Structure 1
Amino acid sequence: MTPPRTPLDDAYQACDAITRREARNFYYGIRLLPPAKRAALCAVYALARRIDDIGDGDLPTAEKVSALADVRQSLRRPPDPADPVLVAVTDAATRYPIPLGAFDELVDGVEADVAMDAQSDTAACFYETFDDMVGYCRCVAGSVGRLCLGIFGSSPDPEAARYADVLGIALQQTNILRDIREDLQHGRIYLPRAELERFGVELVLDEHDVLVDKTGGLAELITFSAERARGWYAEGLQLVPLLDRRSSACVTAMSGIYRKLLEDIAADPPSVYHQRRSLSGWQKAAVAARALSGRAPVGAGTS
């Protein structure tokens, strides 16, 4: 006889539904985990999604700041029973050594997005150097890598958390290259000012909302940035041998999807000028299948 469902079961189910709906890339890896780890990671994703959605939503700046502050405080008190995401995250943190403080770093990163939105009505560079941009990536993506590692677990290695952090930063660099056009449409520029100047790039859209690249400098910058991101992937993926088989498959699948996307962008930089690049469902499924079999994703090198 099947035991009756509990409110906690419903909370985890709600987080799974959010992840299936919103994690168009990550869910291909998450579903490779055993049920308990999959449920915990869906809970972590659902809260991270909530934080991101506050920053990207339509609320006035003051209300975004207030909502982010409320998220911070919500992790410091018993969860509201009516909030399934917080109920599930709180429970998951009793089952796995999830570093909940990393959510504070994620909030820090989203607060930086809100500050970027508020600084002017027109797009302007917010990060002066690549190191400045990496600091942002560490907040919004490295933090998620470390949260995931708390669920995966790993062989004893003092570098494990750093590898998880670096891999998250690699994924975020891919996002930034993919979303140059979309971010500019929303008044955001993540590429550092120093590198835009080095390659002679002024980010502007034409009357059709297509990125303008009269000199080819933007394509050169994307190629340069993609090559650098490959190095971050190579370093971060040193985490994989430290994980159990299912967790390593999850990480290999998620990173493999983003690495394939990075390679597609690097092969044709102007393709991001007018569209948001993505892989098809069958391409993502193929990467996940290769990850579960223990084979490296297509296009995955050592640099």
Structure 2
Amino acid sequence: MPQDTEGFYSFVERYRTAMSGERTGDIVVDSFSELSARKSFRREWTDAFLKSMEMDITVSDYGTMKDLDEYLFGSSEVVGLFMARIMGLDEDSYPYARYLGRAMQYVNFIRDISEDLQLGRLYFPGRNLKDLTLKAWSTGR
């Protein structure tokens, strides 16, 4: 997750430069641009990824799962889509690739709860957590 706001926006500018066909000298950006062209990545996937990374800078919590959906698509589901495209999988696999990416993001959320709280972030939606906690209390689980 980007902590360096200026660095993030500089990275986005280098990405846009590379996607316009210019080399940037940034091996990560230039290599991704080349891979993106070679594998015909959908531009909206990368745009969604960058938007979610920007949300790490601008959004500190999510009220409901619905609020979190946009972040999850860009932060994880598109990673599954990139991988499916890289592996040459049929587009019928794409929904499953998205689910796998989402599942991996949930594992990251759980692993990073302490760190995210220290950074002032909460990815598990508050309303949903409250509902689950109340349900668990009422059922004794």
- TM-score interval for Structure 1 and Structure 2 normalised by the shorter chain: 0.7 to 0.9
- Matches of residues 54-65 of structure 1 in structure 2 within 5 Å? 55=2, 57=3, 59=4, 61=5, 63=6
Unaligned runs of 5+ residues in structure 2 are none
* Alignment check: 8 A CA contact 1:128 1:192 kept: yes
Residue 106 of structure 1: CA displacement?
A: 0.8
Cα pair 1:143 1:165 within 8 Å, conserved: yes
Cα distance in 1, alignment partners of residues 67 and 22 from structure 2: 34
The residue that corresponds to 1:101 in the other structure is 44
Measured against aligned partners, the alpha-carbon deviations of 1:231-272 in whole angstroms (never above 9, x if no partner) come to xxxxxxxxxxxxxxxxxxxxxxxxxxxxxxxxxxxxxxxxxx
| Partner of residue 162, structure 1 | 95
Task: Give the distance between the partners of 1:79 and 1:176, measured in 2 at CA.
Answer: 36
What is aligned with 1:77? 20
TM-score, normalization: structure 2? 0.79
Cα 1:116–1:68 shift into 2, 3 Å: farther
The amino acid across from 1:187 in the alignment is: G
Residue number among 46, 56, 68 corresponding to 1:133 in the alignment: 68
Q: RCO (CA 8 Å, sep 6+): is it higher in 1 or 2?
A: 2
Query: Which secondary structure does the structure 2 equivalent of 1:189 belong to?
Result: coil
Letter in 2 for 1:144: V
Report the Cα distance in structure 2 between the residues aligned to 1:162 and 1:71, rounded to whole angstroms: 30
The percent of aligned pairs where both chains have the same amino acid is: 26
Deviation at 1:83, TM superposition (A): 2.0
What is the CA distance between 1:86 and its match in structure 2?
2.7
Q: CA deviation at 1:71?
A: 4.5
What root-mean-square deviation, in Å, do the aligned CA atoms of Structure 1 and Structure 2 show?
2.6
1:176 and 2:119 are equivalent in the alignment: no
CA distance in 2, matches of 1:101, 1:72: 14
Structure that is richer in helix per residue: 2
1:121-270 aligned within 5 A: 126-155=61-90, 157=91, 159-198=92-131, 199=133
Q: How does 1:29-68 map to 2 (within 5 A)?
A: 52=1, 55=2, 57=3, 59=4, 61=5, 63=6, 66-67=9-10
Q: Which residue of 2 aligns with 1:90?
A: 33
How many residues were matched structurally?
Answer: 136
Q: Distance in 1 between matches of 2:10 and 2:105?
A: 24
**1:205 aligned residue:** none
Rounded Cα–Cα distance in structure 1 between residues aligned with 2:127 and 2:14 = 34
Q: Aligned pair in 2 of structure 1 residues 65, 94: CA closer, same or farther (>3 Å)? A: closer
Unaligned runs of 5+ in 1: 1-51, 118-125, 201-214, 221-303
SS, match of residue 147 in structure 1: helix
Larger Rg: 1
Distance 2:30 2:73 in 1: 26
**Change beyond 3 A, Cα 1:141–1:94:** same
Indicate how the Cα distance of structure 1 residues 127 and 94 shifts in structure 2: closer, same or farther if over 3 A, else same.
closer
CA contact under 8 A between 1:98 and 1:148: conserved in structure 2? no
CA contact (8 A) 1:137 1:172 kept: yes
SS in 1 for 2:59: helix
Write the letter of the residue equivalent to 1:186. L
Matches of 1:173 and 1:191 in 2, distance apart? 9
Write the distance in 2 (CA, Å) between the matches of 1:98 and 1:83. Answer: 19
Q: Normalising to structure 1: TM-score of the pair? A: 0.40
Letter in 2 for 1:93: S
